[in-house]
Amino acid sequence: MKTQRPRPNPISTLARRLLPAVRPDGEVAGQPPIVQRANRATASDYDRVHETAGVGGDWAKSVYGEYYATSVSVYSAIKLRADAMARAPLNILRQVSGESPAGTSRVPVGPGHPVQQLLDRVNPWYTRGDLWRATEINLCLWGSSFWALEQNQSGHWEIWPLRSDRVRILPEKQRHIKGFVYMGNGGPVAYTPEEIVWMRYYNPLEPFAGLSPLAPVRLSVDAGLDALRFNRSFFKNSAQPDVIFTTEETLTDTEIEDFYHRWEDRYQGPGNAHRPALASFIKDVKTLGFTHREMEFLQGLRWSLEDISRTYGVPLPLLSDYQQATFANITTAEKLFWRNTIIPEMRFFEEHLNSELLPRLGYPALGAQFDLSTIEAMNEDETEKVDRETKLLDRGVLTINEVRRSRNLPNVPWGDVWQPTEKPEKSGEPSA
């Protein structure tokens, strides 16, 4: 009888092939000694099993993705965030020196630059908006988003967003992260650390996994879904009758059907409303109804919506909750949504692009920045900023070039000398 050998772990096999083998002394044959990138505390928590089995599956459950397709509130909140992220264009900026020795500014590299072209058309099948929607949706569902950097046949870079619940991180004591493995239906696919841009929400319980926003709010979402299922089943199945007739006799099916027919003939319809009923064999009549406590599932639905609003940072009026909404409230909600939710998210993405993507593409001196000038909700803030800058210019607190540098504009030769704004003369008054 032949003994069956255990099948090798596909992640373990890829992990061994991902990078050259490390000798017991921590060095790679034929290469310089490895510098330990992980701090000592992280290295002390290192588990060698994770190096071959991967980390992240327990924190990025596939079931989280199903909420996007089954919960109206979750879908609405995430879609609002994803659409907002896709609205503002992302510009690649370069630093230039101004006319003043101390003045520098950042200006766009232009649409012809390779990095700008890459982020404007990330691959033959994804547009710029598709990339940011996929990135934000993955973060909102699983707390992590992975970009795979791959080169096409022409040698040009392409960005492919990966499904986050299928990616496993391979930690290593010396390199901190040895690589990534995508667990596809056709088998695992390995990526080196340089081929993946990993954006994640910090997880205090597991440094090698993101923290999904659905993890803390899942119970509230399930409560809302259970209330909806109960409500649907009640109306679908007529789960509770309005009236119960009790009798001391045992009726046959024929007698019961005959009773229903006679009852409907005599008392059904508006013309028979409040008509007295007589039934000689009926002992008692009991009416059934819902108490206020039994109707609290409506409040449960609202509580679920409020929890989702708090978790994803989307104000209730933007989720079509207009109970106490006015035009001013909605305008304020839009400003709060951008100021407290979307703009911090954009800064989060900019940091990852500037520290990970651009250096890997060979452009560490460039910077990425979202352009908010086309966002209507921020226009009022822009007007207030202009008024403030004008007052500071009039009082000599700022110069023209200082204002221009704050807006990433080049200096002008006359901009370092204070020039107060002349007030227009009133009509009918002689000039001084």
| Mean pLDDT, contiguous 10-residue spans, the chain (432 residues) | 50 48 40 54 68 76 92 94 95 76 72 94 94 97 95 91 94 84 90 94 90 92 81 63 71 82 76 70 64 59 88 91 74 90 96 94 93 78 76 84 81 79 50 43
pLDDT at 30: 44
**Cβ-contact 19, 192 below 8 angstroms:** yes
Q: Which residues does 400 contact at the CB level (< 8 Å), separation at least 6? A: 393, 412, 414, 415, 416, 419
H or E element in which residue 170 lies: strand 167-172
CA 171 from centroid of its chain's CA atoms: 25
Quickly list DSSP for 98-164.
-SSTT-EEEEE--TTSHHHHHHHS-BTTB-HHHHHHHHHHHHHHHSEEEEEEEE-TTS-EEEEEEPG
Q: Domain boundaries in the chain?
A: 218-302
pLDDT at 240: 54
Amino acid at site 185: N
Separation CA 245–CA 389 (nearest Å): 80
Separation CA 139–CA 356 (nearest Å): 17
**Cβ-contact 5, 11 below 8 angstroms:** no
Separation CA 360–CA 118 (nearest Å): 13
Separation CA 148–CA 171 (nearest Å): 18
pLDDT at 273: 67
pLDDT at 377: 76
pLDDT at 296: 61
Token pair of 372, please? 């908010």
**Cβ-contact 179, 194 below 8 angstroms:** no
Q: Which residues does 43 contact at the CB level (< 8 Å), separation at least 6? A: 36, 173
**Cβ-contact 360, 195 below 8 angstroms:** no
Q: Which residues does 357 contact at the CB level (< 8 Å), separation at least 6? A: 147, 149, 197, 368
pTM score, whole prediction = 0.71
pLDDT at 100: 42
